[in-house]
A and B are shown apart, each in its own frame.
Chain A
Amino acid sequence: MTTEKDTLNYGPVLFHYDLFPEKLEQHGKVKKVITKRGTFALKEAEMTEDERSWFTHVIQRLSEIGFHQVVPLYPTKFGDYTVQLGSRTYYLMPWFASDERNERAKDEVLIDHLGKIHALTLKEQDFSNEVVEHSYQYLMNRWENRQYEMERFTEEAEQKTYMSPFELTYLSHFHQIMRMTEEAKRRLKEWYETCQREKRYRSVLCHGKVSRNHLIFNPTGEGHLLNFEKAVLDTPIRDLAVYFRRAAHQKEWTPEEGKSLLDLYEKHVPLLNEERGLLISYLSYPEPVFNAVDLYCMKRNDYSQIEMVHRLESRIRAMKKIRDFCDAIMMAPPPAPMEPTDSIPTKIHINDDGDHI
């Protein structure tokens, strides 16, 4: 039931749409708003003014370039696509009920849509040594610092007479983890050298937060993407790396399934050799394992040892699947030639902070 408090909290937002809620239900980060005029999804987010205008620009631009599989935003009665109240930003969309029948096809639809968006927005950027150099150095430094922190954790654990089960598990996989780190760094260096040699890189509109949860099906069964709050112009590898890294953590996911999904993606955007190398670099870097160590160091009192060990083991298993997947990627046939474009470069990000699991 909708409480008076809900009406007080959301009334000022829904006023912008001339909606009076009969019932409000919380579904994750979205409120289901039931009114006499229909059922809607109200999303609450934190965005700066620039982020808000970029977000609405992205949604409008996707429609202009012919990609319509995006959950539309309803404009307010004042013609805005978002409502800002204090530090909070809200936007309203149609409510699509989840359809269990489509769950299996979700990954295919998601990758297919991603490929379409990337193909529609693909641009070969004019080479900027400064931008590539900065992006490379930034990520390499970050990775090396993280590696150093993990080595320090290892040294400290080794000095203990009695190691914890977590430390023991970590140490038994340490060399393998470091090999993956070195592989990631080597691939990143290769990408940098190829960019320097070929003097090219490509950008697309990245969703920025690719997830199965950000694809929903409308009543006719057509998949629609949502949550473009973190959309950004970047290498197509950004979205692919986020997707595959998340996917590898699903129990049923196999490298073969990953390969067939990447093939599906490449029907829209065949990857260049250096992009393939960058994808392997991103995926190989064991950030999810490092994050599990961070969590152990900072919140070891919040979880039991067994929970921590399970988390770490599941991440190591996922990294093994990722390694097999990377091997499969390397065996892929060479990509089709690319049509040149005349766009102006803006920026390139090859760091994907915050997207790690």
Chain B
Amino acid sequence: MELINTLEKEYELYGIRWKERPYLIMTDYGEKRIRYWSEKDNLNWHIRWRDESSKGSSAVPDRMIRTKSGEAAIKYGNRWLTVHDHTKEWYGCEDIERWGQFIGTLLNTAMSSDNQDVFVKQTRQPVFDLNQCITRAQKYLEANFQCMVTSINESKQRLEFSHAIKNNVRNHPLPVLDGELSIKNGRKIFHFLFYQGSEALPIKGYLPLRKFLVEWLEQTSTSSLKFLLTEVNKHFSLESEQGLLLLAEVVTPWELYDCLDQLDNSSLERMIDGLKKYEVCWESNRTLVKTVTEWFDEKRRKVAL
């Protein structure tokens, strides 16, 4: 009850009761989510991107509801606490234009991060480690399993291509994005896209967007993915260096980690099953690379014409 009392004291919310302790509450104004933050800098970063990306967009991120005194968060014990709107109804992937606009706005906000800010400077930029993958796959490579040999070779080529692109545009800044960008976070309120962000530490670069595109392809089709990129491009230009940086991230064989996780050599049966899953995982991710590359090629061709 102590937390409920604090919330009633600090916020313009009435009739507060627990719905799912310690994250969900019911109020007279509907369901709200409580988020807990142990790092003030991370909290400030999340306040900023939510506030900024809501400007002018017809999609609404789950901004921090302000306290009676206008604060975005309150100190609770040794942590900070924020209150957000919450809904369970999924938005789905049908409204590609709305998603495209949201992602575009998000990228614009992500590019406008203060690069002199210490927290932003220290933001993690994940690096793909092919050697670690080769070590994990060593036994299979020695046994000369075809899918394994092909995928590792292709990974090497893709990584080289990715490095070549990155070298060409190495002086360009990277976006700083919420680490957990996902279709599942897209919810529906009043028929508009309500995006529930995370509390995760932000990530520098396009990896969160790559994961989002993988998810999009799983849920929809290649043509839908291309349409999404076209819509994003209307609000955030992918025809510039930023598009190349996204392409470099898409080409990087990140899926190799997931493929290797499928392997299990505890028995012959499991090993064969694992290899099958590995192959399926690899092939499905190749579709992403192919589709995104095709979209960029089509864009280039239109410009050339």
Q: Name A residues whose Cβ lies closer than 8 Å to a Cβ of B.
A: 7-8, 11-12, 15, 18, 49, 75, 77-79, 84-86
Contact = CB atoms under 8 A, between A and B. Distances in A.
The binding surface of chain B is classed by DSSP as loop
Given A8-B190, A86-B58, 14 more contacts: A11-B191, A12-B60, A12-B192, A15-B85, A15-B189, A18-B29, A75-B66, A77-B12, A77-B65, A78-B63, A78-B64, A78-B66, A84-B55, A84-B56
Contacts of B54: 78
B70 interface: yes
Contacts of A84: 55-56
A12 B30 contact: no
11 contacts: A7-B190, A11-B192, A12-B189, A12-B190, A15-B192, A18-B29, A49-B55, A75-B66, A77-B66, A78-B63, A79-B72
Contacts of B63: 78
B: interface residue count bin: 20 to 34
Contacts of A12: 58, 60, 189-190, 192
A78 B56 contact: no
B44 to A, nearest CB: 15
A35 to B, nearest CB: 11
Nearest to A18: B29
Contacts of B72: 79
B51 interface: yes
B276 to A, nearest CB: 47
A11 B58 contact: no
A78 B58 contact: no
Q: Which of A8, A11, A15, A75 has the most CB of B within 10 A?
A: A15
B189 A79 contact: no
Contacts of A15: 60, 85, 189-190, 192
A86 B56 contact: yes
Interface string B48-85: 00010011101010011110001010000000000001
Contacts of B190: 7-8, 11-12, 15
A246 B229 CA distance: 52
Contacts of B55: 49, 84
Contacts of A86: 56, 58
Contacts of B56: 84-86
B288 to A, nearest CB: 31
Interface string B218-240: 00000000000000000000000
Contact of A8 (B60, B70, B191): B191
B13 to A, nearest CB: 9
Nearest to B83: A77
Interface of B: 12, 29-30, 51, 54-56, 58, 60, 63-66, 70, 72, 85, 189-192
Contacts of A11: 189-192
B58 A79 contact: no
A228 B191 CA distance: 32
Contacts of A8: 190-191
A87 to B, nearest CB: 8
Those 10 A-B pairs whose CB atoms lie nearest each other, nearest first: A11-B190, A79-B66, A18-B29, A12-B192, A78-B63, A77-B65, A79-B70, A84-B56, A12-B190, A8-B191
Contacts of B192: 11-12, 15
Contacts of A77: 12, 65-66
Contacts of B189: 11-12, 15
Nearest to B101: A86
Given A18-B29, A86-B56, A78 B191 contact: no
Given A15-B60, A18-B29, A78 B12 contact: no
Nearest to A49: B55
Nearest to A36: B28
B30 A78 contact: no
B29 A78 contact: no
A253 B64 CA distance: 52
B140 to A, nearest CB: 52
Contacts of A75: 66, 70
A78 B55 CA distance: 12
B270 to A, nearest CB: 50
Contacts of B70: 75, 79
A7 B192 CA distance: 11
A85 B54 CA distance: 9
Contacts of B30: 18
Nearest to A84: B56
Contacts of B66: 75, 77-79
Contacts of B65: 77-78
Contacts of B12: 77
A18 B56 CA distance: 19
Q: Which of A15, A75, A77, A84 has the most CB of B within 10 A?
A: A77
A7 to B, nearest CB: 7
B94 to A, nearest CB: 16
Contact of B58 (A7, A18, A49, A85): A85
Nearest to B192: A12
A79 B70 CA distance: 6
B48 to A, nearest CB: 13
B117 to A, nearest CB: 22
A85 B55 CA distance: 8
Nearest to B70: A79
Contacts of B60: 12, 15
Q: Which of A7, A8, A49, A79 has the most CB of B within 10 A?
A: A79
B193 to A, nearest CB: 10
Nearest to A11: B190
Contacts of B191: 8, 11
Nearest to A4: B191
Contacts of A85: 56, 58
Nearest to A17: B29
Q: Which of B66, B72, B190 has the most CB of A within 10 A?
A: B190
